[in-house]
Structure formats: structure tokens, C-alpha cells
Amino acid sequence: MPKILFYAGTAFCFFLALSSAAEMAREIQAGTVAFGALAAAGEISTRAPWAILVGLLAGVATGAIFLRMAALLAPRNLFGAFLAIFAVVGSCGSLAAVLLLQARIMTLARGQAAAVSSLNEIHFVACMMLGYFVSLALIALRPYFRIQASRFISALVSFPLPIFTLILMQELFVAGSRGPLPAATPASQVFFATVSLLFFAIALHCIRHRHLFIELTNLRELIEGRVDPRTQPGRPIRLGGAAFDS
């Protein structure tokens, strides 16, 4: 992948880690949820245009990082790679839908309250779709992290989807939110904390293994690559930058 896209994706992973940690701390202090251009109680943020622009750039850059991971996973686990690609595309599409809805809400908020009320429900559904696809993308890349990264990341990626399922169950059966954003609950705070740790760990992984992302790698190199002669029996065999079990 291009160097500028790799470094931008890594920087945005750090940015998402810090933003998730800040959102968790703000939820604990204020008891409300904010996302993108929408502040507490669905109010429009004073930095709404910049928030929408940065959100779109962050989605594209981090999506490119995840797609590169899926490409490296493909020779080892083709189903996992296709599932990751599906989830990443769904995440980017859901993020674009959320941010475009926020831009529309910002435009109509000046005097068309009825139109904004109908858009709030659509925005809520889009936010839940975004959370689902992000959680699915992380757990779909678990085989990649199990091979190329540490056991900490491979174990941590299993948590967002069950936590998001708990948030969804609370919204459906306990106390549904009437605003454009889900209600602040202990489950949402744990979700943001987990996502913060994950994106911070992923950014560190990208920096440590940047050769896997920057160097040109095609399928021929992955399949017919050089075998490391120092590989011992029972340890993974290194083929063109991808690890295979012997």
C-alpha cells in the first residue's frame, strides 16, 4: 500500500484510540453520548464541519489498513479475509451514512424540527450498524492478529462484538434511546474502552511491522516465497511475509 496511506492510517488509529478514550471519560463524567458532529443530547457541535471531514478521512485511512491485513490473511484463511473485507466495506459505508446524516441534520436544524426528528431515528439505526460492522471487522481479523501480532490483541478483538450485542439488547428490550445516539450505559463505556485499547495496539503493531504494509507483496510471493531455513519443526514457516503453520 502507498506509504502516505499507511502513515495516515496509523496516525488515525492513534487518533481513534484517543477519541474513544476521551468519549469513555466524558460518558463517565456527563452521562451522555457524543459522536462526530453531534454533541450531548443530539445538539450540533460547534466544530461540526471539521468533525465530519476528519471522520470521513479516518474511516478511509483505517479501512485501508484493515484491507491490507485482510490481504495478508487471505493465503492463510480465505474465509476470514472475505469476511473482513465485507465488514470493512460495511463499516466505511455505515460511517459515511452516519456523517452524511449528521451533515443533513446540521442543515435542517435551523427551523425544520419535524424533518430532524425523522432523521434522528435513521441516524440511530446507522450508528448501530456502524458499531456492528466495526465489531465484526475486528473479530474477523482475529486469525491475522493471532499469527502476526501478540496474544493480547488476538484475545482483545473478541470482546467488542459481545459488548455491542449487550448494548443492542439494552436498546431493544430495556430502555430504548429516543435520540439520534444510543444511551450512555456501563456497557457503552466498556465498549469505548476496549476499542481505544484495540486501536492503540493496532497502531503500535503497524509501526512495528510496517514492512508488511509498505512492501509490495503479491499472491505469487505469498505462495512461492522463500522458506526461512532457520525455521524449526513445529514453528510457523515464513513465506513472503505471511506466517503459516508447519
- What pTM did the predictor assign? 0.80
* Alpha-helix residue ranges (DSSP H) falling in 109-230: 113-140, 142-148, 151-156, 160-169, 186-208, 210-214, 219-223
* φ, ψ dihedrals at 155, nearest 5°: -85, -35
CA dist 180 and 127 (Å) reads: 8
In a domain, 244, yes or no: no
Using the CB atoms, write b or e for 30-45: b if 16+ within 10 Å. Answer: eebbbbbbbbbebebb
Q: Is residue 179 part of a domain?
A: yes
Whether residue 243 lies inside any domain: the answer is no
* Residue 226: per-residue pLDDT: 45
pLDDT reported for residue 228: 47
What is the predicted pLDDT for the residue at 196? Answer: 92
The kind and range of the H/E element at 92 are helix 78-108
* Domain assignment present for 112: yes
Looking at the domain assignment, is residue 100 inside a domain? yes
- pLDDT number for residue 237: 46
Query: What is the mean pLDDT, run by run of 10 residues, along the chain of 246 residues?
Result: 86 90 83 74 72 88 91 86 92 91 78 69 87 92 86 88 90 75 85 92 88 67 48 49 45
For residue 44, what pLDDT is reported? Answer: 73
- Domains contained in the chain, number: 1
- Residue 242 inside a domain? The answer is no
User: Which domain, by its residues, includes 12?
Assistant: 3-215
**231 within domain boundaries:** no
